[in-house]
Amino acid sequence: MQLTPEMIEKMRAIGLRLDKAGTFWHEGTSVSHPRLRQALLRWLDVRDDGRDIVRLDEKRYAYVDVEDAHLRAKSARWDGDRVQILWDDDQEEELDYGSLRQGADHAFYASARGKLRGRIAGPAYHAIAERVVEQDGHFALAASGKHWPIANAG
């Protein structure tokens, strides 16, 4: 039997969801195996059309419903005037300062790994907030040699 593009597309909807706390759910059951969870976090991606997916390669991927952000910051540390974020997929990268925004619940959000949304709350939020300054009636992050405006998310 030859699989049609429509059949393949239907198989990509596997009932996978990522909640705000970072728990993956498959058809109502939490994904509790830590290594599978880490693999799913590393496979997170966003298609060119904006749909959230877990991607193995160009042809093999499945859709995932992301409730809030793809990744959550486990920690943030300053290295001089640059801040490094450790995401919950255990990858560390410098904060994308230009994408920094604040949500209604005061958590920070920023781009992570290019296309992904990262949520920065808890201890990581407080580490970053130490360098938030008021500038012309708005807030900005003093980092990487300049003041980066913090937009409102939404």
- Reported as a single tens digit per residue, the pLDDT across 109-123 is 999 999 999 999 999
Whether 88 and 59 map to the same domain: the answer is: no
* pLDDT value for 97: 98
CA distance 74 to 37: 15
Q: What percent of the chain has pLDDT over 70?
A: 99
Q: Residue 24: which domain range?
A: 5-66
Tell me, yes or no, whether 87 and 135 share the same domain. yes
Q: What is the dihedral of CA 29, 35, 40, 43, to 10 degrees?
A: -170
Q: What is the pLDDT of residue 115?
A: 94
Question: Which tens digits make up the pLDDT trace of 44-79?
Answer: 999 999 999 999 998 899 999 999 999 999 999 999
Question: What does the pLDDT average to over 115-139?
Answer: 96
| C-alpha span between 143 and 95 (Å, rounded) | 10
| Same domain assignment for residues 80 and 143 | yes
Q: 85 and 50, same structural domain?
A: no
Q: Which two tokens stand for residue 112?
A: 């992570």
How far, in Å, CA of 11 to CA of 41, rounded? Answer: 20
Task: Give pLDDT, residue 2.
Answer: 86
- Residue 139: partners with Cβ closer than 8 Å, 6 or more residues away: 102, 132, 133, 149, 150
The residue type of 144 is S
Q: Do 139 and 76 share a structural domain?
A: yes
Instruction: Indicate left, alpha or beta for 11 from its phi (over 0: left) and psi (-120 to 50: alpha).
Output: alpha
- Are 85 and 138 within one domain? yes
Report the share of the chain in percent with pLDDT over 90. Answer: 84
pLDDT confidence bin for 7, thresholds 50/70/90: confident
- Find the mean pLDDT for residues 3-19: 87
pLDDT for the residue numbered 58: 85
Residue 78 and residue 101 in one domain: yes
- In DSSP terms, 25 is beta-bridged to 17, 30
Residue range 32-37: average pLDDT? 95
Whether residues 105 and 143 fall in one domain? yes
Banded pLDDT at 125 (limits 50, 70, 90): very high
* 9 and 51 assigned to the same domain: yes
Output the pLDDT for position 5: 79
How far is Cα 1 from Cα 137, in angstroms, rounded to an integer?
A: 64
**Domain end residue (candidates: 66, 81, 101):** 66
Residue 37 CA to residue 150 CA, distance in Å, equals 31
Task: Say how many domains are in the chain.
Answer: 2
The reply to whether 17 and 61 lie within a common domain is yes
